[in-house]
Amino acid sequence: MPLVARLVASDRPARPKSPRALILAPTRELVGQIQEALEPLAATAGLTTRTVFGGVGQNPQVQGLRRGVDIVLACPGRLEDLIGQGHCSLGEVEITVLDEADHMADLGFLPAVRRLLDQTPRSGQRLLFSATLDKAIDVLVKRFLSSPVTHEADSAQSPVAAMDHHVLHLDREHRVPVLVDLTSAPGRTVVFTRTKHGAKALTRQLNKNGVPTVELHGNLSQNARTRNMDAFHAGRATTLVATDIAARGIHVDDVALVVHADPPVEHKAYLHRSGRTARAGAAGTVITLMTDEQVRDVRDLTRAAGIKPTTTRINGATHPVLVQLAPGERVTVPGGLAVEAPAPAQGRKPSGGSSEGSGGRSGGGRTRSRRGRSGQGSRAAGSGQGSTSGQKPAQKSTQGSSAGGNGAGGSRRRSGGARPATAGSGGQSRHSAASFSTGRR
């Protein structure tokens, strides 16, 4: 709102290729989320906005800049590309906003951020935002801010009062069964992994065990990332498995549980990840899974984050604390996130595989999902919303039924063995719902 008010007050027209305000953010999802909040405010004031990020074609972005735009919301990489091609100039930017400033001051972003800020007039206003602002941003403050003023809503280490922190000490082979149990309870869950490969593998395992799950990480195309986030927002997927790409700024209503399947390396990442729950005054639970070799690292992590979690030793895949942390009936959906393939386009054969990472087509068709958990209620599987013809109704599983097996959920696998094949898959179970979120082409 202050940005819109300042632009209205200056009362300058938008010129081709020369935006009046610039908002920089580290991820495409965050740029899109800021745009969603800003666009109605800007439109009311007669101002125009334009998102600029990679992973999609640049022509709509080029055309928007050419027509003239008041506010550009961008990731640094694509914006630098368009500037280099002569499609944009930052010489008339009146206000620059750097979101997640401490992350943008990291070595991976810092050179591009410096080059972009160097192109904005020093007479303009510059604002840095983050939930954790520390000395990491000093390099930007000293170079680009004049007489800076710090506004602080809380200290850098203040945890959310309505957020409960728990550590589950377990053996590595029990990680997946415990995750299946937690994520099959009512409510939305975000699970964080350290690597893109880990996110992909865990998504596959959760879907295999009947938990409608999508993934979010840097190996996915922008279309796949958008589809997966839409599925999670809409409740078709009840669990999001993500790398730290989703740790900052991303907001989804009614996330009841955040699970650190892999503890983060540093405390700021822990605080940002955990902040996906207990938002806007709501309560939330944060769980960190800790193996024997991670005890010291997790202890140092929580101390640096300024929290004192409750630690519980779990000697197996079942424990009463799991119901306490994620209450409600455990319900699974055969195949996880179901896939339905319509008839292929005329003159084209079904591809027989999934496309563009998770959330893609199976058998050349588009994805559909059984209704998963809502933010408040239990799963309503088998409701018919996007379900595949002939699929079995959802299975109800009892507490601890995932014990045993190979660590991938054991007895949670549905009876009948093979997954139901989708239309256009040629009857091959490998193209069923469980493989839909694995990112295979």
What pLDDT score does 140 carry? 84
Instruction: Write down all domains in the chain, each with its CATH number in brackets.
Output: 2-144 (3.40.50.300), 163-332 (3.40.50.300)
Q: What is the pLDDT of residue 282?
A: 55
Regarding pTM above 0.85, the answer is no
- Mean pLDDT in the chain? 75
Range of lowest pLDDT (62-71, 137-146, 249-258):
249-258
pLDDT band at 107 (very low <50, low <70, confident <90, very high): low
SS (H, E, C) the chain: CHHHHHHHHHCCCCECCECCEEEECCCHHHHHHHHHHHHHHHHHCCCCEEEECCCCCCHHHHHHHHHCCCEEEECHHHHHHHHHCCCCCCCCCCEEEECCHHHHCCCCCHHHHHHHHHCCCCCCEEEECCCCCCHHHHHHHHHHCCCCCCCCCCCCCCCCCCEEEEEEECCHHHHHHHHHHHHCCCCEEEEECCCHHHHHHHHHHHHHCCCCEEEECCCCCHHHHHHHHHHHHHCCCCEEEECHHHCCCCCCCCEEEEEECCCCCCHHHHHHHHCCCCCCCCCEEEEEEECHHHHHHHHHHHHHHCCCCEEEECCCCCCHHHHHHCCCCEEECCCCCCECCCCCCCCCCCCCCECCCCCCCECCCCECCCCCCCCCCCCCCCCCCCCCCCCCCCEEECCCCCCCCCCCCHHHCCCCCCCCCCCCCCCCHHHCHHHHCCCCC
In the predicted model, what is the mean pLDDT of residues 133-149?
Answer: 81
Range of weakest confidence among 37-41, 115-119, 427-431: 427-431
Q: Choose the weakest-confidence range: 41-50, 90-99, 413-422.
A: 413-422
